[in-house]
Amino acid sequence: MNLFTSPEMTPSFMGMLLPNVLRDNEIEYQESFLHGFSAFPWLTDLLCSPVIRFTCMRSKENPMLTQAARTFPQHRTSMFSMLCVAFLCLVGLPPSMALSASELPINDALQASAQQRPASTMRVIVQTLGDTNYVRSAITGLGGTVQREFHIVPALLAEIPARSLDALARTEGVHWISSDTPVKSNQCQQCVDPTFLRSAYAQSVGADRLWNEGPKYLQGQGVGVVVLDSGVNPFNDFYTISGNSRLVSSVRFNEGYNQSVFDAFGHGNHIAGIIGGNGRESQGRYIGIAPGVNLINVKVADNDGSSLTSNLLDGLEWIIANKDTYNIRVVNVSLNSTENESYHVNVLDAALEVLWNQGVVVVVSAGNFGGGALYPPANDPFLITVGAADDRGTPSLADDAVASFSSYGVTSDGFAKPDLVAPGVNLVSFMGGNGPLLAAQHPDHVVESVYFRMSGTSMAAPVVSGAVALLLQSDPSLTPDEVKYRLMSTARPFGLGGNAGAGYLDVYAAVHASGKATANDGVPVSQLTWQIAGNTLDSWYDVNWSSVRQFSSVRQFSSVRQFSSVRQFSSVRQFSSVYHGSDYWGN
């Protein structure tokens, strides 16, 4: 029997198991030894308690131990260690301590880095099970510091000595430890020569047919779409004819020196223009997919387009707290992690799934690695992962092809990606004033002084985000899973060998399709997500989302929200195979 797992084995009872010869001795021990037990506070308390006085120095009752300690003072700590080892042999190891190093809940790359640089300090995200206070105590006891706590998923951002990483992983309540990894937009360095004067992507996916089709005249009016990126600048194309700004909110969570909510890089502006630019500045030559949509700027990336996972988590918490205020129905994520993990343990995947399950459609870029690795969040089976197609500057599908850089394949969890493709080559959109970094790096991509030509799956994703806004304006009752099903089931056959997923986006067909079938049916939920939901589940179909908590304000959960309006998330069939990336240069 493992006494650690027995409910009768309280510290006071276990103290009775130790020889009386060890009691009532004056304690004098090395803190460095007990430091190793800080992940198990009850054990540390036991070893230091008045009931169990460990030390081999001046025992009135134990002359042999006392004499040994006096004779070999340099081995006092070792003697204490041997007694503790004997104690552990008696009661057995707790399950977490019995794990080998390779079995610990730590990202492999992070663990390898800690072993190579044991004297370094590591910035990590610690996902927890249940009460975080216990894990907080372990972090500080191991010489680390807690930077902040996340609420969208139960996790702590911490800095901890590399040598203590394994000990932290053995702490009760730790679900997974990963690096606070960089998240970047991936521009391609082999840019396509700009030759087209006007973009055809809105026509390629059928969006232009919806703008002037009665009775709804769909342009995304009233639907809030978040640009989770490097910022968005106020621009003529984001104003209505009456002069009202459709950029309804701007917040920042980046950690760089640029403290402005605006975009000095150029990536976020370009994304926003593809989603919702109305062409006022260009007299209608360059129009986004949903020219009437409301844009919400959540800046998480710095001037070079890079970000940290923790920045994205901060931004996602704000989105949940404010989604009803701005009717946020769509979040565009044209960013990918630089570290590959299973969606079962990746914290960014889990946080985006929380948004999905609260009625927000999440659209992510596949990545620009061709048939290469699928990095989070493009690997998540529930989200809409978008690959890039080349429309050749024409509305016709006949001359189109999947972009060579567009990622596709099967994730480490066995799911085919992307889910579908959309135009992502040579798209012209808003650049931003005062010469953003991308314009300075690629002056030949500047179009008419305020627009810019880019290629990449980062550009394809906002085409789909804009399409989702049109679909939700047409039918606001659609759930994220129903939206995903509509898009995939109406996509036009396209690509070879699964590199286009379900096919080529056709938003006109998606809007006019009938029925409310769902995607993702039977897909296993991530462990972290079902813990948030308070359930032990096998698939999304089983989720009782009425138990999921909702934010009442930024960074704070409040009570329980009933998801009466959000249908059960039974979802996606596996549609072929595809891999992911983010932006190509033609980003």
Catalytic-residue membership of 458: yes
Give 535's pLDDT tier (boundaries 50, 70, 90).
very low
| Predicted local confidence at residue 151, as pLDDT | 84
| For residue 445, pLDDT beyond 50 | yes
H or E element that contains 387:
strand 384-390
Residue given tokens 């040994």 in the structure block: 68
Q: How far apart are the first and last CA of the chain?
A: 60
- What residues does CATH 3.30.70.80 cover in the chain? 101-180
User: CA–CA separation, 179 vs 307, rounded Å?
Assistant: 13
pTM, two decimals, is 0.69
Give the start-end residues of each E strand in 119-166.
Answer: 121-128, 145-150, 155-161
Q: Which is catalytic among the residues 180, 208, 229, 314?
A: 229
The Cα 294–Cα 431 span in angstroms is 19
Contacts of 346 (CB under 8 A, 6+ apart): 178, 337, 376, 377, 379, 380, 526
Q: Is 521 a catalytic residue?
A: no
267 counts as catalytic: yes
**Do 406 and 479 contact (CB within 8 A), yes or no?**
no
Is the predicted pLDDT of residue 428 greater than 90, yes or no? yes
Alpha-carbon distance values, 147 to 123, 136, 167 (Å): 9, 10, 19
Residue 57 pLDDT > 50, yes or no? no
Instruction: Of 166-170, 186-190, 417-421, give the lowest mean pLDDT range.
Output: 186-190
pLDDT at 97: 54
pLDDT greater than 80 at residue 187:
no
For residue 1, the SS3 value is coil
User: What per-residue string of b and e applies to 29-53 under the rule 16 or more CB within 10 Å gives b?
Assistant: beeeebeebbbbeebbebbeeeebb
At 524 the pLDDT is 61
> Which residue type occupies 188?
C
Per-residue pLDDT tens digits for 1-32: 444 434 344 333 343 334 333 333 333 334 44
Instruction: Flag whether pLDDT at 225 surpasses 60.
Output: yes
* Phi, psi values for residue 322, rounded to 5°: -120, 10
CA neighbours closer than 13 Å in the CB half-sphere of residue 113: 16
pLDDT of residue 145: 93
CB-CB contact of 290 with 225 (8 Å): yes
Partner residues linked to 159 by β-bridges: 123, 145
Reference 508, options 200, 208, 201; nearest CA is 208
Residue 390 has pLDDT above 80, yes or no: yes
| Angle in degrees, CA 210, 216, 221, rounded to 5 | 85
Most confidently modeled of 55-69, 193-207, 243-257, 460-474? 460-474
The pLDDT of residue 517 is 84
Mean pLDDT to the nearest integer, 489-501: 89
% of the chain surpassing 90 pLDDT: 46
The more confidently predicted of residues 426 and 90 is 426
DSSP string, 27-66: P---HHHHHTTTT-HHHHHHHHSSSS---SSS-SS-HHHH
Nearest 5°: phi and psi at 341?
-140, 160
Name the token pair of 440: 């300075």
For residue 197, pLDDT beyond 60: no
CATH superfamily of 201-512: Peptidase S8/S53 domain (3.40.50.200)
Q: Span 325-351, mean pLDDT?
A: 92
- Using the predicted structure, report yes or no on whether residue 412 has a pLDDT greater than 60: yes
What confidence tier does 257 reach under pLDDT thresholds 50, 70, 90?
Answer: low
Please, which residues bridge with residue 184 across strands? 306, 336
Would you say 372 and 404 are in contact if contact means Cβ atoms under 8 Å apart? no
Catalytic residue among 178, 199, 208, 267: 267
Q: Report which secondary-structure segment, H or E, holds 461.
A: helix 457-474
pLDDT number for residue 440 = 87
- Strands laid side by side in the 121-128 sheet: 145-150, 155-161, 121-128, 174-179
DSSP class of 213:
-
How many CB atoms are closer than 10 A to CB 517? 14
Which amino acid is present at 95? P
Q: Dump pLDDT digits (tens) for 355-387.
A: 999 999 999 999 998 887 788 999 999 999 999
What is the pLDDT, as a whole number, of residue 108? Answer: 86
From the options 2.60.40.10, 3.40.50.150, 3.30.390.30, 3.30.70.80, give the CATH code of 101-180: 3.30.70.80
Q: What mean pLDDT comes out for the span 417-422?
A: 96
Mean pLDDT of 217-246: 94
| Whether the Cβ atoms of residue 453 and residue 219 lie closer than 8 Å to each other | no
Domain boundaries for CATH 3.40.50.200 within the chain: 201-512
Q: Which of 458, 434, 459, 464 is nearest to 446 (CA)?
A: 434
The Cα 239–Cα 241 span in angstroms is: 7
SS (H, E, C) 287-316: CCCCCCCEEEEEECCCCCCEEEHHHHHHHH
Q: Which of 458, 465, 576, 582 is catalytic?
A: 458
